Structure 1
């Protein structure tokens, strides 16, 4: 049953983190993996025709001593050794190495060594794998200044080396719209009369996330009063309920729980189907067995009458 569950999870693609891909076929490739996630490394095009190759990681100890630990050994298309087989999978046919549940210790320099049929080294190349924590949430806070300018601060949580970008109505902000700051900093000040939908995005090498943003409202209320104000885009009701204070702080909505819930439901239904199937086969087997026993008893009765 555990094997069946594992197969279903692989088919459905259920994972517990971010998945990244890196082409490591060029020497010195720079690759990134998300902490707790999965990285797929393209080591070669097709490994099935290579006589022998090894894949190792080079680490530096506290005493600045360089050590090499061999992870993968393949001889004539047979995996002789894989020291992290419990959370990795190598596919010789397409030369990809998949590592799950990445930790900080997985970061480092990896070396692929290919041998020819005579046992001599025919090729050597390295790749650098860097592990980063993905961005988990983004907070956006605004402040209206005395002259009608708007100061906006964008901050992220849980991400390594965050990079910021700003858009207004889906396009990049221009210098003419900014009083201070630039589109790559987390704090900006907009000039007067700048309006539209303002969105902050935060990214690093393994993730990207955006806020819901602010929008500029310009309308006339039922009492004739004219309103012009920046409000939280998801609560754009200034012209309907002017007494409701707009939110100025938000977190991006994470749909991962919904996706995981749907996948879990599919897995449960599949397991129920498998259970019903095996129960039906077992019942059918018992019925056939009883029928055979009944036939044998009938034959015995005929023989006794004769």
Structure 2
């Protein structure tokens, strides 16, 4: 029992001692699933009350990268297009240990096309893909449309340039003909003047005789 300075008995106090074993090591295991997802498991060797956290390329995993599970559990499933430097950290009140692994996609691609009249939109193995081999997919149609539009614009620009060049050529030809016509109309006047002089001289010679 314990008493205060006035001799009154104090209420008993209970102290709780919590002892935790530290985490010694972490094991990271990944495997590809049937649809290209990746299951990753993180397990710790020893350690009491472990807590898990995940990062990818230095950033906390987001819900958009997870197909199932959460970033605080030791088992997660990543989406088909997720890759990079994955780190699992295990910690408790007395220790913290991390394990990292470089993960890549499981070789799956996402296809969105029409094959034999059927719309296909799914993840498939790139190596064994036998779907969407026809040239009727939406991206191909969009590309062809943009190409036709570009060719039409180039053709219009070329036609405009040709018309401008033809206009310039016609203008210079018209100007040259106008100049030649002006020279031709001036030549007879000069000849008439010379003929008049010759006639005057001939008349003068006749009168003298």
- If each structure's strand is expressed as a fraction of its own residues, which one has the higher value? 1
Q: Do the two structures share a fold, i.e. TM-score over 0.5?
A: no
Q: What range is the shorter-chain TM-score in?
A: 0.3 to 0.5
Could you tell me the TM-score, scaled by structure 2's length?
0.44
- If each structure's helix is expressed as a fraction of its own residues, which one has the higher value? 2
> Who wins on radius of gyration, i.e. which is larger?
2
Could you tell me the TM-score, scaled by structure 1's length?
0.31
